[in-house]
Structure 1
Amino acid sequence: MATITGVVITLNEAANIEACLASLAKVCDELIVVDSGSTDATCRLAEQAGARVIAQPYLGDGPQKNVGPAQARNRWVLSLDADERLTYEAIETINRLDLVSSEKEAFALRRRNHLGSRWIKTCGWYPDYCVRLFDRERTAFSDSRQHASISTVNMTQLDADIEHYSFANLGELFTKASGRFSSRAAKIMYLKGKKANALSPFVHGANAFVRKYVFQHGFTSGLDGMSVALSAAVNAYLKYAKLLELQRDSQVREAEDFNRIW
């Protein structure tokens, strides 16, 4: 059976890192944490859990997630975010894989995205297939600094889930959408030269709501479905409203630090 290296990137994840590493340890014989300057107990807890901690100032999502695999001693890497956990079924499925002779470059697992303790199965939140297990000698994360993914077509979707504790509560769902998520996206779009007009916030906000609530069946999930759809609309609206503000207001633009997107 092939050995696997588990890799997690962190920043102030003391509340999550122990449970994440404990689940990885059930299938991995090496654990690596790539930390971008935590000021809490993340690094100490990771080391106590048996992980090797690598200090690395944040490079953006893809480049940061490639740091650990580059220093792994195993060919196969299992990459989780700190707020993700392997389910029992995922552990059993991965342990049964014949990675030594596998012709595949990577394997994807379904992700159960949670709001609080509630598993949201609509709004495009499930099944949310993500490539997490991959051969680092044949593929890697893309260079994208936002929402990077493994670049491969030679992969298989496994019949197993990972848990993703996305948002602690409804308040966090909306504060993240209206705060750093939309601000970061607006700055990225501005630097790429993307343009917005006065209608852009409304059009994109309405489109996000209809997609989540109607076409991705959020209406069947009651208050949670409505909340997820509304937060997506808020995020989309503000993303384009903030982009428009950067375009037309020099005072706001000059006060913004475009070197601190990540």
Structure 2
Amino acid sequence: MFSLSVCVLTFNSARLLKDVLSPLVDIADELIIVDSGSSDDTLSICQEFGITPSYRAYTTHGEQMNFAISLTNNSWVLCMDSDEIIDQKTVEEIKKIKAGATPETDMAFRISRHWFVLGQEVHNIYPVTSPDYPVRLFNKESVMFNSRPVDDAAEGYKNTAVISGFVKHDTFFSIHEVFNKLNGYTTRLVKYKKVTPSLARGFFSAFGSFWKWYVFKNGWKDGKVGVITGTYAVAYSFMKYLKAWYQHDGKRK
């Protein structure tokens, strides 16, 4: 048996935090929460669970997770976001992993994560299909998160296995949040990553995203919510090039 530290990132996460933390306390020998400046009831909810969050100003998701990992006292860590709710089967499977022979340090475990947008499970949300299987349980001696501005991932493992169960990723609870996050994601992407400053490429990318994510990846099957996720894919694909073009054009002037 090995001890497990669970890391959770929060920012104005009161909406789901009790549902997120309740199953995690059942498997955590240590629970670390890193908050990036919540102004809602997030901190008081953490106190209800006997947890005092650490503060770190947000840079990237990967850097935030790595900071949380650096605070842990155990080698094995489970990293979760504050809109991801694990079910009882996932809890039981993680307990079995903990109770069994300690895995090799380069072994990692994936979760089966199903995406929900506006309260409805969807086939995709750019740039991932649902479910996806991110690595979330691993040994910190071998695995850490990269620092990509968006869509970061854990790296350093050699072998993986999928944990049986269901993780509900209840993201984007309002149309306002959909496009607010779209704006934030594309701004960070252009800031930290080289994006070709081309309006023409933006138009072609947006057109391709519509066919790929709404048509071929079955976004149309999700009804009204599919229209929202399809629009998100198109807007994301175009706006990253638009922002890069605007910044590049401004520097020339």
The answer to whether TM tops 0.5 is yes
Q: Distance in 1 between matches of 2:184 and 2:51?
A: 29
2:120 corresponds, among 97, 118, 134, to 118
Q: What one-letter code is carried by the residue in structure 1 that aligns with 2:146?
A: S
Unaligned 5+ segments in structure 2 are: none
Quote the residue 1:12 is aligned against.
Answer: 12
What count of residue pairs does the alignment treat as equivalent? 248
- Tell me, what secondary structure is at the counterpart of 1:2? coil
Picking from 155, 168, 177, the partner of 1:172 is: 177
Q: Deviations over 1:24-58 (max 9, x none)?
A: 11211211111222233322321321224212222
1:185 to 2:186 alignment: no
Residues 38 and 203 (structure 1), Cα distance of their counterparts in 2 relative to 1, 3 Å cut:
same
Deviation at 1:99, TM superposition (A): 5.4
Local SS of the residue matching 2:167? strand
C-alpha separation in 1, matches of 2:46 and 2:227: 37
* Letter matched to residue 219 of structure 1: W
State TM-score, norm by structure 1.
Answer: 0.85
Contact 1:122–1:221 (CA under 8 A) maintained in structure 2: no
SS at 2:129's partner residue?
Answer: coil
| Secondary structure, aligned partner of 2:145 | coil
Runs of 4+ displaced beyond 6 Å:
none
**Residue 144 of structure 2: SS of its match in structure 1?**
coil
Residue 144 of structure 1: how far off its partner (Å): 2.7
Q: Does 1:134 align with 2:118?
A: no
Shift of 1:200: 1.5
AA at the equivalent of 2:188: R
Q: Report the counterpart of residue 73 of structure 2 in structure 1.
A: 73
Task: Name the amino acid aligned to 1:149.
Answer: A
The residue that corresponds to 1:149 in the other structure is 153
* Aligned-residue RMSD, C-alpha: 2.2
Q: SS at 2:78's partner residue?
A: strand
Q: Distance in 2 between matches of 1:172 and 1:57?
A: 20
SS in 1 for 2:209: helix
Q: Please show how residues 1-262 of structure 1 align to structure 2 within 5 Å.
A: 1-97=1-97, 98=99, 100-103=101-104, 105-122=107-124, 124-151=128-155, 152-177=157-182, 179-189=183-193, 192=194, 194-250=195-251
CA distance in 1, matches of 2:89, 2:5: 19
5+ residue gaps, structure 1, are 254-262
> 1:258 maps to what in 2?
none
Q: Which amino acid aligns with 2:121?
A: W
